[in-house]
Amino acid sequence: MHLVPRLPRNPAVLLALIAIVYVAVQLVVLPYGMPLEWDEAVYASQVAPGVPDAVFSAPRARGIVWLVAPVVYFTRDPVLIRLWMTLLSGIGFCLAFLPWSFLLRRSVLVLSAALFGGLWTTLLYGTQVMPNLYVAFGCAAATGCLLLALRGGPARAALAGLAASVAAVAVLRPGDALWLALPLAAVSLLRRRVKLAAVTSAGVVAGFVPWIVEAYVSYGGPLSRWRAAGEVQGGLSLSPGFLHQFKTANGPVFCRPCTLPLEDPWPAAWWLVLPVLALAGAIVSLRSVSLPSVSRDAVDPVSAPSAPGSPGVPAAAVAAVTGFSVAVPYLLLVDYGAPRFLLPAYVLLAVPAAEFLLWLVARRASRVVAGAVAVALLAHAAVQMTVLVELADQQDRQRSYNAQVVRDMAKRGVRPPCTMVDDLVDPAMTFVSRCDTLNLTDPGDSLEARMAAAEPGRVFALLTKKEPPEPMAGWQRYVLREKDGEPLWTAYITRKDTAR
C-alpha cells in the first residue's frame, strides 16, 4: 500500500519543485521592503558605493559580502536586495540537497527538504544578508558529497563538491567549518579513506585563506584575531547556550543577554523533538546497513532501505553526527541565543528525522499512524508559519521605524558628508543615511579631533533617547519622535563651519 503520493523520478525535477515552493512561500509571506538590520548593514556597507564601511569585527568573514555584492554595488534598495537573496537561497537550497537526491529515497528527500525548508528561520533568512543559511547549505552539500564518495559515486564530482562545499563554509563562517570538518574527516578515516579526509582538510584551509590574510592585515595575525573574535562573542567557554537557543526557538531573532522568562515553552516543543527524531533515524539508518542493496525503482518508495549503493555507509547516521557536531559551539560555548545559529544543524538533522518518520509509517502500515504523523507535521507547519508571520511583521515595523527616523534626520540637514556620533551607532541607520560614524568610547578617536580634521560643511549628529553629553548640549536640537508628549528620539545636529 502506497502511503505517499507518486513523486517525479528525476531528482533534478524533484529538487527544482521543492525549491520553487520554498522561494514562493518567501515571496508571498515576507515583507520585501524590510530595511536592513544591524548585521546585514555591516556586510552590505563593505561593497555599497557611497556608504562608509561599518566596523567589520573579528568574528565576521567576507563570504556573505561577496554573495550580496552583485546587487548592493548597484543599489541600496532593500526590495531588490531581498529579491536577490531570495534567488540565491533557492539556488542554494537545490545545491544543498542535490547530493542527497542520489543517496535518499525520494520520499525521505522530500520530507527532509520540507522539514528544513518549512522552518521559520529557513524562510526568514532566505531574504536576509546573513551567512548562517548558506553555511547550512554548505554543510548539507559537503556531507552529501562525502557520502557519495564513500558509496562509490562519481569520484571527481563528489570530491570537487566536498572540497568546494567545505571551503564555502569556511569562507562564510570559519569556526563552523572546523566543527563540520571534524566528523567528516573522522568518518573518512574510519572508512580508511584518507584521501577524503585530506580533501576535507584542504577545503577548510582554502576557505580560511581570506580570513587569515585579513587577520595579518588588520589584527596582527590569526591567533590575535581568533582571540579578538572570542572576546567579541563574550568569551568562548562552557555556557548554557542550549537554554538560550530553546528560549529563542520561536523568537526573538536575537537574545543577548538572554534573560527572557520561559513562560510558554510548548510552541517550541519541536526544538526538543527534532534531535530525538534524528537520533531515532540514525539508529534506523545503522540497522539498515545490513540490508542488501536494491534499486530505488524496484520497491515501494517508503519501505525501501536507505539508499542504493554499497552497504555499510549509514547516510542518516552520518548526517545526525555531523548535525550535532555543528551545533556544539552554539549549545555549549556561546552564552547568548540567535535561532539562525542552528540552521546548519537543522538541515542535517532533518535527514535522519525524516528517515525515522517514514520508517515508522511503513513499519506500522497503519492509516492511524500515518494520520497521526501527518497531523503532527501539519501542526508543526502551522506553528512555523505563525511564528514566521509574527516575527517578520515585528522586524519590518521596527526596522521601518528606525529607517524613518533617519529620513527625518535627513530633512533636518543630516546628509553626506556627515558623521553620526554615539557610544554605539547602529550600522543600519548609517547605511540609510550614508554617514560615517564616531564611537565616543573609542580611545583612539575623539569628537574634538574629528571635528578639527573635518572639511567645512560636514554635519555631525547625535541621535539619542536620553540627555546628550556636555559637548553636544549646545548643538541644534530636534525632537523627531514623541510618545505621550515626551521626546522619544531626539537629534542634536551641528556643522563644521558653525561648531563652537
Please, which residues have CB within 8 angstroms of residue 18's CB and are 6 or more apart in sequence?
Answer: 93, 97, 110, 113, 114, 117
What is the tens place of the pLDDT at every residue in 70-127?
999 999 999 999 999 999 999 999 999 999 999 999 999 999 999 999 999 999 999 9
Note whether 208 and 216 are within 8 A (CB).
Answer: no
Least confident of 362-371, 406-415, 478-487: 478-487
pLDDT at 213: 97
Q: Is the CB of residue 387 less than 8 Å from the CB of residue 311?
A: no
The torsion angles phi and psi of 495, rounded to 5 degrees, stand at: -120, 155
- pLDDT on residue 290: 54
Q: Give me the percent of the chain exceeding a pLDDT of 70.
A: 92
At 302, the pLDDT band (50, 70, 90 cuts) reads very low
Confidence of residue 312 (pLDDT cuts 50, 70, 90): low
pLDDT > 90 in the chain, percent? 75
Q: Among 10-19, 199-208, 456-465, name the most confident range.
A: 199-208
Confidence of residue 304 (pLDDT cuts 50, 70, 90): very low
- Are 494 and 413 contacting, i.e. CB atoms less than 8 angstroms apart? no
State the pTM of this model.
0.92
Q: What is the pLDDT of residues 397-443, one digit of tens each?
A: 999 999 999 999 999 999 999 999 988 889 999 999 999 999 888 88
CA–CA separation, 194 and 188 (whole Å): 6
- Alpha helices in 219-289, H assignment, sequence order: 222-232, 241-247, 269-288
Residue 6 has pLDDT above 80, yes or no: no
pLDDT for 232 equals 81
Query: How many Cβ atoms sit within 10 Å of the Cβ of residue 265?
Result: 13
Q: Residue 441 has what pLDDT?
A: 85
Query: Whole-angstrom Cα distance, residue 437 to residue 45?
Result: 12
Q: What digits encode the pLDDT tens for the residues 325-346?
A: 999 999 999 989 999 999 999 9
Alpha carbons within 13 A on the beta-carbon side of 422: 20
State the Cα–Cα distance between residues 200 and 181, nearest whole angstrom.
6
Query: According to the model, what pLDDT value does residue 11 have?
Result: 77
Distance CA(130)–CA(133), nearest Å, equals: 7
Sheet-wide strand order for 476-483? 436-439, 418-422, 459-464, 486-495, 476-483
Mean pLDDT of the chain: 90
pLDDT digits (tens, 9 = 90+) for 149-182: 998 877 899 999 999 999 999 999 999 999 999 9
Q: State which of 125-139, 239-253, 261-275 shows the largest mean pLDDT.
A: 125-139
- Pairing between strand 459-464 and 486-495? antiparallel
Helices (H), 313-424: 315-328, 343-364, 367-411
Among 266-270, 323-327, 377-381, 496-500, which is the least confidently predicted range? 496-500
Tell me if residue 210 falls in helix, strand or coil: helix
The tally of CA atoms less than 13 A away on the side-chain side of residue 74 is 6
- Whether the per-residue pLDDT at 319 is higher than 90: the answer is yes
* Side-chain half-sphere exposure of 375, counting CA atoms within 13 A: 6
